[in-house]
Amino acid sequence: MKLLIIGGVAGGATAAARARRLSETAEITLLERGPYVSFANCGLPYFLSGDIAKRSQLLLQTPEGFDGRYGVKVHLRTEALEIDRTAKRVRARTTDETGVVSEVWFAYDQLILAQGGNPILPPLPGADAPHAFKLWTVPDMDRIHAFIKDKGPKTAVVAGGGFIGLEMAEAFHARGLKVTVVELAPQIMITMDREFAERAKSHLQEHGVTIETGVGLKAVLADSHEVELSDGRKLPADLVLFSVGVRPELTLVKQAGLTLGESGGLLVSDTLQTSDPSIWAAGDMVEVLQRVSGKRVRVPLAGPANRQGRIAATNAVAAMTGKKATMKYQGALGTAIVKLFDATAASTGLSEKAARDAGFDVGVAIIHKDHHAGYYPGGQQLTLKLVYDKKTSRLLGAQGFGLEGVDKRIDVAATALLGKLTLDDLAELDLAYAPPYSSANDPLNLAAFVAQNDVSGFSPLITAEQAKAAFRAETHLVLDVRNLGEYAQGNVPGSLNIPVDELRGRLAEVPHDKVLFVHCKIGFRGHLAARILIENGYTQVFNITGGYLSMKGVFYG
């Protein structure tokens, strides 16, 4: 029985290895159009930054290694050009190292597609200049590495403020270039909410990276080594990197007439079967269920691609032996993480915006807390945001930013999302604690307490954006309960400042007929103030979640 796999990196290589573990008799062939099989594309930025010293560390397998260990025949530089579904065969063109081209038909009983995606290259004047790059493959990486070594560029412009663009901004910075990131959207990291994008932007700027948001690239000016922006400004750019997104590779599946899905990816069932029962698919090219919203989406990330490769192989091998496909892919959360110099930003599930778009009755709780016990040396402030459904108290998503401890909280939140946990469950999570690691109430527990208090009405929350949008001077008052020194350093114009410890004695200054938007620096004193006010008969009290720190970019700055 013949299993043919197209695409030999995350999804395809995983599928090949898994298929062999399931069947010693299957004839497994893998076609890869590039010169390498199973390379670590996620590691490419870290070779360019110098963090990964040896290029060879990125090359996880060779055709010989694959054959030796798994008995998988790998054909490199071999591009599949046509699927003949009736005859069950694939036409492929091989270009050998000397440039000689040959075409061969490969027969299959079952076919797995793991072709990934392609980086989007905007059709701008100058985009094909020799100093303009994309980063998707090892040869792309080699070109950038050689350019930096040979030409000694001093300035770089990265078009696109997504995770790869930001990793590359850091890599160029590490190589001594002065870097500007240009992002068309009003914020970088558009899969995360505004306050995290703001924190990341400030952090990158503190490390010397310039960030331009809300402006696009209009042209690459090769002669003057500049780029022109959509607002007419010019920036120096000895090197330009396009990192503006990825499109699924669908040329072959369109030619083969396989059904596409509503988000533009290849449609697959929960067993990862395409509209042709003998063809399975995995990775960046498919669309899958978003586990929280239930919508069909594309999640171009390595984790889902690897796990899908394993499932597609399991079901394809079962089909080869006439068995039913039983292994299911239940959907992705889109959990993602990025290193920004010494900081980390991460998210899982739905952002606040995505949750609102999906029609949930959204609640938001933001906390800023030391990542471990405050009295133990080395505590670093961690910002956590929970997004939840106020009707059911179910967790919908989480985001984090900080120097330490972000990955752990977001991974626990991802597990909670998979288990459809509620805020009550999260509040009760028994997490590992000793002072060097966490607090007796882990930041995740604490965020859940804050959210519980919101849902129950014990201490209602409002986001900075909601407060700003609702605010009318005649009917609303911003009550700042920080101390006088903090207030003097910066405040919302028109706000009333009564430090929380004086509030009980100064209630006469707080009007009963106004909606009160209370805030402190991070949220805790705002919560205490909200409780004092509510206990004293004030009925329209909201604590601005995350406090003054989360109001940046909305009420000030």
State which residue, 282 or 477, has the beta carbon closest to ligand FAD: 282
Q: SS3 of 397, please?
A: strand
**58 near ligand FAD (CB under 6 A):** no
Active-site entry in 42, 60, 129, 222: 42
d(CA 166, CA 540) in angstroms, rounded, equals 42
Residue window 292-331: x/- pattern of binding to ligand FAD, with contact defined by CB under 6 A = --------xxxx-x--------------------------
Distances (CA, A) of 345 to 405, 408, 438, 516: 10, 12, 18, 32
Q: How far is the CB of 242 from ligand FAD (least distance, A)?
A: 12
Q: Which of residues 249-268 bind ligand FAD (CB under 6 A)?
A: 249, 252
Residue window 177-216: x/- pattern of binding to ligand FAD, with contact defined by CB under 6 A = ----------------------------------------
HSE, CB side, 13 Å, CA atoms: give it for residue 82: 8
Quickly list DSSP for 48-103: HTTSS--GGGGB---HHHHHHHH-EEEETTEEEEEEETTTTEEEEEEE-TTS-EEE
d(CA 554, CA 195) in angstroms, rounded, equals 9
State which residue, 38 or 293, has the beta carbon closest to ligand FAD: 38
Going by their DSSP bridges, the two strands 381-389 and 395-402 should be labelled as: antiparallel
Active site includes 42? yes
Quickly list DSSP for 442-453: -HHHHHHHHHHH
Q: 334's torsion region: left (phi>0), alpha (psi -120 to 50) or beta?
A: left
**6 near ligand FAD (CB under 6 A):** yes
State which residue, 135 or 177, has the beta carbon closest to ligand FAD: 135
**480 near ligand FAD (CB under 6 A):** no
State which residue, 248 or 499, has the beta carbon closest to ligand FAD: 248
**111 near ligand FAD (CB under 6 A):** no
Q: How far is the CB of 61 from ligand FAD (least distance, A)?
A: 12
State which residue, 136 or 388, has the beta carbon closest to ligand FAD: 136
Residue window 215-234: x/- pattern of binding to ligand FAD, with contact defined by CB under 6 A = --------------------
d(CA 388, CA 427) in angstroms, rounded, equals 13
Residue window 270-289: x/- pattern of binding to ligand FAD, with contact defined by CB under 6 A = -------------xx-----
Q: Which of residues 118-157 bind ligand FAD (CB under 6 A)?
A: 135-136
**C-beta of residue 144 within 8 angstroms of C-beta of residue 167:** no
Which H or E element spans position 395?
Answer: strand 395-402
> What is the DSSP code (8-state) at residue 260?
B
**164 near ligand FAD (CB under 6 A):** yes
For ligand FAD, the nearest residue by Cβ is 283
Find tokens 């977001």 and name the residue. Answer: 410
State which residue, 41 or 545, has the beta carbon closest to ligand FAD: 41
d(CA 75, CA 4) in angstroms, rounded, equals 11
* Backbone φ and ψ of 411, nearest 5°: -70, -40
Binder of ligand FAD out of 3, 19, 116, 398 (CB under 6 A) = 116
Write the single-letter amino acid at 474.
Answer: E
Q: How far is the CB of 382 from ligand FAD (least distance, A)?
A: 21
* Backbone φ and ψ of 185, nearest 5°: -70, 165
**80 near ligand FAD (CB under 6 A):** yes
**75 near ligand FAD (CB under 6 A):** no
State which residue, 60 or 373, has the beta carbon closest to ligand FAD: 60
Q: What angle do CA 170, 176, 181 make, to 5 degrees?
A: 40
Say how many residues touch ligand FAD, by CB under 6 A: 32
State which residue, 34 or 547, has the beta carbon closest to ligand FAD: 34
Q: Which of residues 407-426 bind ligand FAD (CB under 6 A)?
A: none
d(CA 143, CA 420) in angstroms, rounded, equals 45
Binder of ligand FAD out of 3, 9, 197, 317 (CB under 6 A) = 9
User: Catalytic residue positions?
Assistant: 42
Binding site for ligand FAD (CB under 6 A): 6-12, 31-34, 41-42, 44-45, 79-80, 114-116, 135-136, 164, 249, 252, 283-284, 300-303, 305
